[in-house]
Amino acid sequence: MAQERFDAVVIGAGFAGMYMLHKLRQKGFSARVYETGRGVGGTWYWNRYPGARCDVESMQYSYQFDDQLQQEWDWTERYATQPEILRYANHVADRYDLRKDISFETKVTKATFDESSNTWTVETDRGERVVATFVITAMGCLSSVNTPKIEGLADFKGPTYHTGNWPHEGVDFTGRTVGVIGTGSSAIQSIPVIAEQAKGLTVFQRTANYTVPANNQPLTDEYKRAIKADYKGMRARARKMPANIDLKFNPASAIEATEEERRKSYEERWAYGGIPFMGAFGDLLLNDASNKTAQDFVRGKIRDTVIDPQVAELLSPKNIIGCKRLCVDTGYWATFNKPHVKLVDVSAEPIERVTATGLRHKGKDYVFDDLVLATGFDAMTGALLRIDFRGRGGRQLKDRWAEGPKTYLGLTIAGFPNLFTITGPGSPSVLTNMLPSIEQHVEWIADCLEAVRSRGAKVIEATEAAQEGWVQHVGSVAGLTLRSTCSSWYVGANIPGKPRVFMPYIGGFPAYLERCEAVVKNGYEGFAVA
Ligand code: NAP
């Protein structure tokens, strides 16, 4: 049987894969999308844990490529819930008739570049083999779940859930006792909701985390009308901000402000809620002393909220605020005032083992009905390395990246021609509002494919020199901020054995955009086009 051929294979049908498909069609390229899930939505398809919602405001965490789409869609809350975002993803799939080119419940297992035909052969777990000129990965940065290697995990007799792969039918914890491992964003969102249902909840904390209240609220018609009337303006303002989010940013130094100015600024931001807290001063992620002023403020809030001083102390993070991703919560600290909620510190000694009925730590057995792993992801590279990519000379991506990911612009990889990585390592991605960052990548890739076609060329590939230059730049910019200094998933520290490299580009969206545009203007500088 003749192999099916496409101009492009796209891997993943989240927000990146969906828009990529739409854009490819618009430009007259044939495409097939492969998606592991039964439906579209990516992150928002898998992360169905209680309390899951986005920490970027809804009216900004949405596509802008079609003004009609953003005008017709109505968000209901300031921070949209997972079900609402998934409804939005499905609405987009319907509106642009995307599903007919998506193969669901199909995993890409291998992709091999053939140097004689300049094409990729893509293989799936269903035994399909298709040929494509281009392969575009759209698998998300946080999609490969991290199941910790704790002894005895398989021995637990009750149900075990991972926040990143939550049962579709939901879980009712009413009348149950629950153990939660982890205190990152997913845990901080889910713990207050689980505590409302469960009879008993024990949280095992290795590292206390900073969180700012969401101050979530329904969106009024007046607010929505005002944003919609100026959507273009808001998006343009966002593009000028490092994180591509339209928020108030105060460039002043925290340490040069007076005690009173600092308190006022932090209180205002605390009352507003969410990630804009870090915009209170311009040097919070550049200067230890400035950062400490924000740390002290948040620790004070924890002491004000948590009744038991020992619990408050345990919940108080000791590290740099904003170094790990800042969390956004609804009622997290107050949850620990409930008599049926317990906090166990596992920082000094790791959890010994999971048992049939719970887990053991420091020789003490904790018993519960259900175990929740809120233990995060093998971020940025995990999903890419699960696929056996073979580039020129049959070289495997996992070997090329043995010392950490190397890309040109986070978009392409030397030695892997015609392969593009939407929000790949080395791009701003997770440090920005993902939706507009995805759109920028999709549009850049689609224009690039068109440029290759119009030149009558067959292959585009980053040069080793350009890639090396970009990797150096990503590393040197990372070194300028405090963000690269702590053991976060940004540096792969949550995965034992993963090389420690600051993976996203921290130079800010505007600088990145400028660089991507300059590359095109200079005739695809840093690429060999043949
Ligand atoms: P995470 O931030 O990596 O948190 C994982 C947690 O599990 C950490 O507290 C970690 O402790 C703990 N952990 C891992 N292995 C452990 C072990 N063996 N023993 C004890 N504790 C262990 O993962 P996440 O909460 O899923 O969040 C990941 C990212 O997803 C976020 O940073 C954010 O970018 C995104 N996210 C966003 C939202 C949102 O938009 N609102 C919601 C959820 C997630 P250590 O800190 O000590 O490693």
Instruction: Answer whether 376 contacts ligand 1 (Cβ < 6 A).
Output: yes
Ligand 1 pocket, residue 163 CB under 6 Å: yes
| Mean pLDDT of the 311-338 span | 97
Pick left, alpha or beta for residue 363 (phi over 0 → left; psi -120 to 50 → alpha; otherwise beta).
left
Any ligand 1 atom below 6 A from CB of 326: no
Is any ligand 1 atom within 6 A of the Cβ of residue 142?
yes
Atom of ligand 1 nearest to the CA of 351: 19
pLDDT in tens, 415-445: 999 999 999 999 999 999 999 999 999 999 9
pLDDT at 477 over 70: yes
Q: Give the pLDDT of residue 3.
A: 83
> Coil, strand, or helix at residue 195?
helix
Contact 102, 13 (CB under 8 A): yes
The number of the ligand 1 atom at minimal distance from the alpha carbon of 328 is: 41
The angle formed by the CA atoms of residues 30, 31 and 34, to the nearest 5 degrees, is 165
C-alpha 242 – ligand 1 centre gap (Å): 23
Mean pLDDT value across residues 44-70: 97
Reported confidence tier of residue 260, pLDDT bands at 50, 70, 90: very high
Burial class (CB in 10 A: 0-12, 13-18, 19+), 217: exposed
Torsion, Cα 325 230 516 402, to 10 degrees, reads: 20
Q: How far is the CA of 181 from the centre of ligand 1 (A)?
A: 10
Mean pLDDT of the chain: 97
Contact 61, 244 (CB under 8 A): no
Q: Is the pLDDT of residue 13 over 70?
A: yes
Per-domain residue ranges for the chain?
5-144+378-529
Task: With cut-offs at 50, 70 and 90, classify the pLDDT of residue 96.
Answer: very high
Res. 1: pLDDT tops 60:
no
Ligand 1 atom 2: residue of nearest CA? 184
What is the Cα–Cα distance from 253 to 466, expressed in whole angstroms?
A: 35
How far CA 385 is from CA of 144, 254, 333, 404, 424, in Å, comes to 10, 41, 37, 11, 12
Encode pLDDT of 219-259 as tens digits: 999 999 999 999 999 999 999 999 999 999 999 999 999 99
Mutate to test the pocket of ligand 1, among 375, 434, 437 (most ligand atoms within 8 A of CB): 375
**Residue-level pLDDT at 457:** 96
User: DSSP string spanning 360-408?
Assistant: EETTEEEE-SEEEE---B-TTTHHHHHSEEE-GGG-BHHHHTTTS---B
pTM for the structure as a whole: 0.97
Q: Is 202 close to ligand 1, i.e. is its CB under 6 Å away?
A: no
pLDDT 10s digits, 179-202: 999 999 999 999 999 999 999 999
The verdict on the CB of residue 346 being under 6 Å from ligand 1 is yes
183 lines ligand 1 (CB under 6 A): yes
* DSSP assigned state of 525: T
Q: Does domain 5-144+378-529 have CATH number 3.50.50.60?
A: yes
